[in-house]
Amino acid sequence: MSWGLVGTPPKQPQNILPSIASAGLTKPVPAWFLETISLLVDEGSPVFTPTRLATCSWVQYHEAAMFPTNFIAIGDSTMGLNPIYGQGCSKIMVSLLLLDRMLREQQYDQSLSPLFAKQFFHELKTRTRGMWVSSKYEDYQRSTAGPSTGETRQNGKLVRWANRLVRQAARKDVKVARVLSSIGHVFALESALMRPGILLKILWAQITQSTSGKTELRLL
Domain ranges, ordered by start, for the chain: 1-50, 57-139, 157-219
Category of 172 on φ-ψ map: left (φ > 0), alpha (ψ -120 to 50) or beta = alpha
What pLDDT score does 21 carry?
Answer: 77
Supply the pLDDT for residue 8: 61
Which residues does the chain have with pLDDT short of 70?
Answer: 1-8, 24-26, 108, 210-220
Give how far the C-alpha of residue 167 lies from the chain's centroid of Cα atoms, to the nearest Å. 12
3-state secondary structure of 57: strand
- pLDDT for position 24: 66
Contact at 8 Å (CB) between 22 and 29?
no
Phi-psi region of 159 (alpha: psi -120 to 50; beta: other; left: phi over 0): alpha
| Alpha-carbon separation of residue 129 from 80, 134, 189 (angstroms) | 12, 9, 10
